[in-house]
Every structure is written in C-alpha cells, then in structure tokens.
Structure 1
Amino acid sequence: MKRLYSYVALSLGLLCANAAYSFDRITGQSFASRSEVIASEAMAATSQPLATQIALDVMKRGGNAIDAAIAANAALGLMEPTGNGIGGDLYAMVWHAKSQKLYGLNASGRSPLGLSYDMLANELKKLGRDTIPAHGMLPISVPGAVDGWFELHSKFGSLPMTDILQPAIRYAEQGFPVSELIAYYWQRSVPVLSKQPGDFSAAFTLDGKAPAKGQIFKNPALANTYKAIAKDGRDAFYKGDIAVTIDRFMRANGGYLRFADFANHRSDWVEPVGVEYKGHTLWELPPNGQGIAALQMLQILKNYDLKASGFNTPQSLHLLVEAKKLAFEDRAKFYADQDFNKAPVKGLISEQYGRERAKLIGDKAAKRVDAGNPALYQGDTIYMTTADKDGNMVSLIQSNYRGMGSGVVVPGLGFVFQDRGEMFSMDPQHANAYAPGKRPFHTIIPAFVTKDDKPLISFGVMGGAMQPQGHVQILVNMVDYGMNLQEAGDAPRWQHLGNTEPTDASDKYLENGGYIEVESGVPYETARELMHKGHAVRYGLGGYGGYQAIMRDHANGVWIGASESRKDGQAAGY
C-alpha cells in the first residue's frame, strides 16, 4: 500500500535523495500532495472522509464547530475503530469566539478503585511479568470520551445531542464502506484481539475476518449504545444500564471496573499552557498528557537559528533530535496525573530552563541523557479539527491506545475498551506509578497556535510518542521554513525513538542515545552526516503520525484546511 511507505534500506538511500523537500514543477514551491482547502464559512479535517462530511453537514444544519466535532468523533468511533471509540479517552481545546478564549478539556479516565497496587502486582506475577500487558482486563481504565462529549456540549454546544449523534447511528445501522488504510490496520488487529474476553469477533469481524477495503460494515450494537446516550445523556453510560452491564461482565470475566468507577467519573476543564516561538504561541494541555514536551523542545530550539541551518539538513535534524532527547527524559520522570504528583510545569516550560538544557547540546549525538531539575525554574488514536462561521475552533484527539485497545468487548455494546492503563509504571517511587483511581500517563495531545493573541491554527499529529515531535515539526516547517499548511504536513518527517519512558523505573535514563527513524524523503547525505555525528539512523516503515489542521486567514476572513496524505482522511469546507 502506497500510504504505508515502501521500506527503504540505508544502503539504497541514495536512490531517494532527490525526493527530499521536493519542489513543484510549476510554482517552484516546496511539495504538497494537494493544494490547501479554502472555504469561507466552515471547515473540518478528519482521518475519514465520511466523518468530515458529517461534520460539515452538522454545521450546515445550524450546528457549531463543537457539535460538528462530537458528531465526527462519534462517526470515527464507528468507522475507524482501529484508532478510537467510546471505550477510550478524549482531550480537546476549544477556541470560543464569543469570549475570545482558549479552553482545555481533560476527559481521560482513571484506574479501577478496587484494584490496589499489590493486587495488580500479584496479577502480573501470575503472568510472569512486571509490566502491565497491552491487552486483556488489566490495562483497562474508565472510558472518558462520552463524558467529554457532554462536557463540550453543555458548555458550548448548540444542536440537541439526539441530532448530533444521528448520523453515526444511521451509518452504524445501515453500514459504511471501510476505507483503505483503516482496513489494513483492522486486519492487523483481528488475530490478536479475537482472543480476548468478550464479543470482539462478533462485533468487529465479518465471518471471523476483518472487513476489506470497500466492504460494507455495520455495528448495530454500537447504534443501540449511541441511541441510549442520545436519549438519556451521559448518565446512560456512567450511571445507567450500560454501566450495570459492564459491571456484570467484568465481575464474570476477571475484570476490575465496577459501577462505582463509572458513577464517580468526571472530566476536568484545565488551563492550556503556551510557549512563544518566533511570534507564534503553541498551546498544549498540562499532564497527565505529554503535550508540554513540545513546549520544552521549543524553549530549547529557540536558542538556535533553524532557518539558517536549513530544512532536513544534518545540523537542523541534529538540533531537533537532541532537543527531543532532553525533553523526553523530563517527560519520563515528571509527567503524571496532577492529582497525585504535581509536575513542575512552570519550570519545565520556562525559557530559562530551556536555555540551560540547550547548553547540553554539542556537535555530537548525546548517548547518555538525564532528566533535568526544573524545580529550580518553577515560577494507534485519531485527531480531528473543526471550525465554524462564527470563528469557533475545536482541536480534538481521541484514542483507545494501541489501535483497537484492549480487545475486550462487552456483548451487546459494540465498542472496545481502551488499554491506556498499560502506560502506568510499576515502580512505586515513580510519579506515574500505578494507584487506584489514578489517571495514567497519556500520549494523546491536541494542539493550538495563536499569533498576536488571535486564533491561528488548530492542529494535531496523532501517533504515540511521535505527537510532540510532530507538533514541533509542523510549527518549525511553517515558521522557520515558510511552508503552507498542507506542505508542512506533507514534508518528510523524522522521529527519535529509545528515550526513557514514563512506564520505566524512576532511576532509569537514556544511556545509548536511542535512534532516529526518517522517511525516505530525507536525503541520504543528511542521514550519513547524522551518523558521523554519532546518531543511529534508519529509514523507517510508517509510524510518523497522522496530521489534520485548520488555519484562520484573518486578512481574507476564510478558513484554510489540510489533511494527512499518509492516511484516508479529508479536509473540506463550504
């Protein structure tokens, strides 16, 4: 499949050197897979074209960007179960035009109240392991997405929730054609997840197989769940028959979620935090997510002239990768549920701390990297975005974690439970150590950019640890290298892997330098020079995230949209 990238070995790298930072034959500008999408009234960008159309339809019927985002997210839970669904969590940022303010929502769930650390450790011992597994009952935490929808709707929504969920209900009952890349990931998930407790095969396969590209897929059980939510609100999910059914199933199958976990769940409105970078301010949500890693990277990178270094040159990539290494060691040590461990966020994202961390970057790749002391300066996921005629913008990300999640499906409900609990550390001294009723470290992060105190870009780059790296690459591509919204997403990407993780022991640190994966568009000359600097470099197979973006053109009063060329999605407006 062309979107999954052909694997290019380093020995063949010279063959693709000329592909890097390609230029259009007519304009001479940097390459984009297509033009930016421009519309005067409204815009939506999602990873599935049918979901994009649903968002636009909602806004054409008088709904706002918030209504459209909820409707599209519900549709994506049906159409892209490989990345999200109501068994997972949600984060969002909303630019509210009337109040001219950016709001942040943390709608992530918590671990079971009845599963103590010692009980979990004993369960892991029975499995012969000391880390939380990716599938089955143990990594399941309370799904926060549904409550997130209703928090967004109660604060900013316009249309009734029954109207908002109706398109997804109709597609769930009547069926939809499965798109290409989603079919590929669906096929990869079925062999593993079919073995988990519950109804996965009945709910998510056709005669035991994943639906192929173009096949019509229906999910009547999910339609019924959506109908109950539309009729009786969030309490149908957290305090009604759905919660009772889940409790009963968990007790019968060795799970730990209970009715009380659902009844006690709440989302939190949080203040986004921002860092200025060359006249633009990138906004992220504070931990338990990893968004501030992008802000830490920017505070380090503003000490260098990336524009002068050039796009995807050995020097610019060296600086970007080294900044990522430094930020991610702090990510591993400090990012956790703020109700349990207060991270020194102000210090972590401060300009002074970034300046001190930048001094650690030399001309050669760092092999050992430790977390810093920010207290001294203390003062598989979907991403989608919508914008409406009034100027409201929504940056929303939602995930099951690891594609289709835990694999656990309660019969009759039509959705997979997330496995986000895998992201806890089992080191009791770690800030991210497992505890009952605690939110695990999260990778999913929405992003937002303002300029001169005005809303500019709502965007995201879904995909695990790639996300903060992707956020920085998009912003740098536009600010330092002058790319437009679509070019910034199409440009060849890189990612650094191998840093210490928030699931590791509290005394662990990066000691071998990790390695860089680059897309085939990165010149071999750049890869070779990076190796001379001590970096381990590979040409990787996919894994570079999924980008969607909407930008406000204030001068012309129009919306500009861009969508990930590596996925099935679409940016469209009217």
Structure 2
Amino acid sequence: MKQLKALRLFACVSALAAVMLGSCTSTSQGSSASAQSGKSSVDNWKPYDKNGDMIRTDRNATGKIGVVSTSKVEASRIGAEILRKGGNAIDAAVAAGFALGVVEPNSSGLGGGGFMLIRIAKTGETVFIDFRERAPQKSSPEMWTVGTDGKVVGNQKLEGGKAAAVPGEVAGLLYALENYGTMTREQVIRPAANLAKNGFYVTPTLSNDMKSQFDKLEKYPESAKIFLNKEGLPYEVDDIFTNPDMAKTLDIIIKNGKDGFYKGEVAEAIVKTLNKYDGL
C-alpha cells in the first residue's frame, strides 16, 4: 500500500470558517474557485500545458460568499457550487473532501482519514475533529515478520493486508456534516458520486503515479481492475478515468450514512479483500 501523503483543503464563508487537514500531502498544484454568481475562475482551466508539464499562473480567486481551495480543479468547483447553493463552509469542505477521493485517488480517499479544525464565527467556538486512521483491533507488534537485525522484513508496513488501518474519513466527514453542516448527504456527496460515474481527465501527476506503481497494481488484481485501462496499462494524460465501484460506494453512503461504509456489503468486501492478502 502506498504510503499516505498530505492533503489540504480550505473553505470559508461569513458564517463559519473551517480548515481541514486530510490524510495525504499532494505534490500537485492547488486550485481555487470563488463562490459567486456565474462561472468559477477555474472553468476550462488545467494545471498543465499541452506537453503535460505543470504550469503556474498565480491566479487569484475572489468571491463575496467565500473561497474553496483544494489540490484539484474538480473538487474546488464542487465546493464552490455548494457555497453558491447556500451551504456553509462545512458543507463545502465535506463535498470537496469526498470529491478529492474521486479525482485524487493517489493521495486521498475513503480509505484514509484526517483532521478538521472548525471555528464558529457567531460564537467564536473552536472545534477540532480527529478522524485519522486507527490500527485494527487485532494488531500487535508480533504481527510483523522481523529479521535478525530487529527490523521489519520487506514492505509489510507499506503494502499488503497488514498495511491497512481502519479508515476514519467517512466517519469524520459525516460527523462534521451532521453536527456543523446544513445540507443533506445527497446534496453534499452526490457531486462526487457523479464525478466517479461520469469520469474526469487524468492529470500528469495521476498518470505518472499509476506508471510508477504499475508493478504493485499488477500484483493486486482488485487495484488493477480500477487503476489500469482495458489493455492492462496505466492511464495516459487526458484519458477519461471512471470509477463505477467508487460511485456505487458513495451511493450506499448517501443512503445509509457511515453504516453504509463500516457495516454491510462495503465493509464485508474490504475485509474479504484484506484477508486475501494476510490482513487482520
């Protein structure tokens, strides 16, 4: 399993201000969208040129209601649209967070976790939500194969069933939405589900990560099915990437809340797959 990086998501409105630190650090350039009438400042914009090289424009995004900034254009658009529809900062942050799990699977997603720091503008109250991943209940130091040098053998901590922790992202984002947001799961998560179903353009960063992790993707058929194309090869820049399984999972979360992820068919599928690879 690829080691987690860091993900930063910022959203603010006059009623609430929120900062969410996710589970992963992104090497891709951030993009922002202003929440005002008409099109956002990122429409028809890509963070890379025709050669696939990253570009910097020093663009500024402004808005009377608020600003959403994430590492992906699509997620920023979704968050800004939530603000336009009357949602608050938490609604926008949660919507953008779920969207990032779709468009940035190499750095974010339902299998991760994060932190959220919320300040209630009206009262000045500050709330911190910790939804980082937790070690499985059966985990212990003895679960690792250790060499004569006292070090863990191979990549057990980075890939395979034992490398996976219990995800906190779904529980944390939904807790924030239910306690500090104003919109429904349908309103907030549906844009991400549609994005997974309809697809998005593969960026140079995502394509390069797929190529650099090709050997690992081939090693795990479940991952290869999702992240390799019909020819069994990594996606190229500007290919359309869809994730119907992700869309289905998000549909279940919309319908059943966090129980749709931590219980039932989704949880059973996760456990079954991890057990296949010596998980706990």
The TM-score with structure 2 as length reference comes to: 0.73
- Who is 2:274 aligned against? 250
Q: Deviations over 1:109-132 (max 9, x none)?
A: 2112123322x13x3459x95265
Q: Which residue of 2 aligns with 1:218?
A: 242
Pairing partner for 1:130 from 127, 140, 152: 152
Larger radius of gyration: 1
SS in 2 for 1:37: coil
5 Å-filtered alignment, 1:157-196, equals 157-196=181-220
* Partner of residue 82 from structure 1, selected from 70, 94, 106: 106
The percentage of counterpart residues that share the same residue type is 28
Equivalence for 1:150: 174
Deviation readout 1:37-59 (Å, 9 max, x if unpaired): 32221101111111111111111
Give the CA deviation at 1:90: 1.4
Once the two structures are TM-superposed, the CA of residue 177 in structure 1 deviates from its matched residue by: 1.1
Give the Cα separation in 2 of the matches to 1:211 and 1:175.
Answer: 13
Contact 2:95–2:188, Cα closer than 8 Å, also in 1: yes
Normalization by structure 1: what TM-score? Answer: 0.37
In the aligned structure 2, how far is the partner of 1:89 from the partner of 1:133?
A: 17
How much does 1:82 deviate? Answer: 1.0
Residue in 2 aligned with 1:241?
Answer: 265
Deviation at 1:182, TM superposition (A): 2.7
Distance across 2 between alignment mates of 1:203 and 1:226 = 16
Structure 1 partner of 2:225: 202
Aligned residues: 223
After superposition, the CA RMSD in angstroms is: 2.3
Q: Which of 240, 248, 254 is matched with 1:230 structurally? A: 254
Residues 317-336 of structure 1 correspond to what in structure 2 (within 5 A)?
A: none
* 2:162–2:278 Cα contact (<8 Å) kept: no
Alpha-carbon distance, 1:250 to partner: 2.9
CA deviation profile, 1:358-409 (whole Å, cap 9, x unmatched): xxxxxxxxxxxxxxxxxxxxxxxxxxxxxxxxxxxxxxxxxxxxxxxxxxxx
What aligned pairs does 1:47-446 form with structure 2 within 5 A after superposition?
A: 47-118=71-142, 120-121=143-144, 123-125=145-147, 129-130=151-152, 132-196=156-220, 198-206=221-229, 207-256=231-280
1:77 deviates by: 0.8
Kept in 1, the 8 Å contact 2:135–2:166? The answer is yes
Partner Cα distance (2:183, 2:132) in 1: 24
CA deviation after TM superposition for structure 1 residue 229, in Å: 0.4
Q: CA deviation at 1:35?
A: 4.7
Q: Distance in 2 between matches of 1:85 and 1:35?
A: 27
Aligned residue runs from structure 1 range 554-573, under 5 A:
none
Residue 87 of structure 1: how far off its partner (Å): 0.7
The structure with higher relative contact order (CA 8 Å, sep 6+) is 1
Partners of 1:192 and 1:129 in 2: how far apart? Answer: 22
**Alpha-carbon contact 2:161-2:276 (below 8 Å) kept:** no
Stretches of structure 2 that go unaligned for 5 or more consecutive residues are 1-26, 29-55
CA distance in 2, matches of 1:174, 1:83: 20
* Partner in structure 1 of residue 67 of structure 2: 43
| Residues 416-452 of structure 1: CA deviation (Å, up to 9, x unaligned) | xxxxxxxxxxxxxxxxxxxxxxxxxxxxxxxxxxxxx
